[in-house]
Chains A and B, each alone.
Chain A
């Protein structure tokens, strides 16, 4: 019989995922302290990390970072397995799916703003339809959809602009954190 090791060897890729997820979680929690004019309207700044990770390290790592962010963020905020968590998870999954498909189909002609806008819209649409089917199946909720999508569009454009600025910075100075890229 093979002997079980009681410690796991972690790779440099694991460390990179952990650092980037920690960054996304910090932004996620910082953002949770902002007041919101409407339930469901949030800038979604943590998704900038997901987007940049996909462009720099690939979709698989972006999926790790995004899902770790949702799970750990909800544990720290005390919303794990609550409706908030389900909405957050469905939005993150939809955004990841949208990013993956868009990168395959339009990766050669699209910039970060296009990615960010499409991901934000997918995120909002998925959350809306989960909220509609699971929590509030009422036709009046439909009246919120255009307002929520407008917010997603505006925040998506801003996220894209911020992501481009960060990308320029990384390009100019290389990584500022040797641990992430070792």
Chain B
């Protein structure tokens, strides 16, 4: 191969155990990234912000509470570690349709009524997460 005097042809066409090791290491790294980044914790409590007050609720304690907003009363239900809006005086009911919230970082709100809910874990790394 006079055109390529410095080329190690054997090195150009081989697949070595180091190649395979690198692929295996890369798969391990990506899998562990999937596990750590995509892992979402169950929330332990909810912070409810209304025009009058900031409430902290324990999600393990099943209850239904009424929160006064600017348009009327929003009814929130806590059950089995989850929380949802049951009713709200707003027009479009987006808060109710967003359903049960239970993961750390989940946020739901009734904007017309100025009532918002953030699900948190005791030692949560994030204020909120959106997608």
By beta carbon, the residue of chain A nearest B128 is A139
A174 near B38: Cβ-Cβ < 8 Å: no
**Complex CA distance for A168 and B14, rounded to whole angstroms:** 10
- A110-155 interface (Cβ within 8 A of B): 110-114, 117-118, 121, 139-140, 142-143, 145-146, 149-150, 153
Contact A167 B12 (CB under 8 A): yes
Are B12 and A149 within 8 A (Cβ)? no
Interface size on A, residues (CB 8 A): 35
* Residues B16 and A109 in contact, CB atoms below 8 Å apart: yes
Shortest Cβ gap from A113 to chain B (Å):
5
A145 CA to B16 CA, complexed, in Å: 28
Once A111-B11, A171-B1 are accepted as A-B contacts, the answer to whether A146 and B23 lie under 8 Å apart by CB is no
Nearest B residue to A113 via CB reads B19
List the one stretch of B26-34, B61-69, B95-103 in contact with chain A.
Answer: B26-34
Given the known A-B contacts A56-B7, A164-B13, are A139 and B30 also in contact in the complex, defined by CB atoms under 8 Å? Answer: no
CB distance from B22 to the nearest CB of A (A): 5
Would you list which residues of chain B between 73 and 122 have a CB under 8 Å from chain A?
none
Interface string of A3-38 (1 = CB under 8 A from B): 000000000000000000000000000000000000
> How many residue pairs between the two chains, A and B, have CB atoms under 8 Å in the bound complex?
83
A81 at the interface (CB under 8 A from B): no
A150 to B30, Cβ gap below 8 A?
A: yes
Number of residues in B with C-beta < 8 Å to the partner? 28
What's the least CB distance linking A125 to chain B, in Å? Answer: 10
In the bound complex, do residue A149 and residue B13 qualify as a contact, i.e. CB atoms below 8 Å apart? no
Q: Which residues of A contact B4 (CB under 8 A)?
A: 56-57, 170, 181
CB neighbours of B129 from chain A (8 A) = 139-140
B7 cross-chain contacts in A, Cβ below 8 A? 55-56
For B26, list chain A residues within 8 Å (CB): 117, 121, 149, 153
Residues of B within 8 A of A146 (CB): 30, 33-34, 37-38
Given the complex, which residues of B lie within 8 Å of A113, measured CB to CB?
A: 15, 19, 23
Known: A145-B37, A164-B15. 6 other contacts (CB 8 A): A56-B4, A111-B13, A111-B18, A114-B19, A143-B131, A181-B3
Residues of B whose CB lies within 8 Å of any CB of A are 1, 3-4, 6-7, 9, 11-16, 18-19, 22-23, 26-27, 29-30, 33-34, 37-38, 126, 129-131
Task: Offer 6 A-B interface pairs, CB within 8 angstroms, sorted by A.
Answer: A108-B11, A146-B34, A153-B26, A160-B19, A167-B9, A167-B13
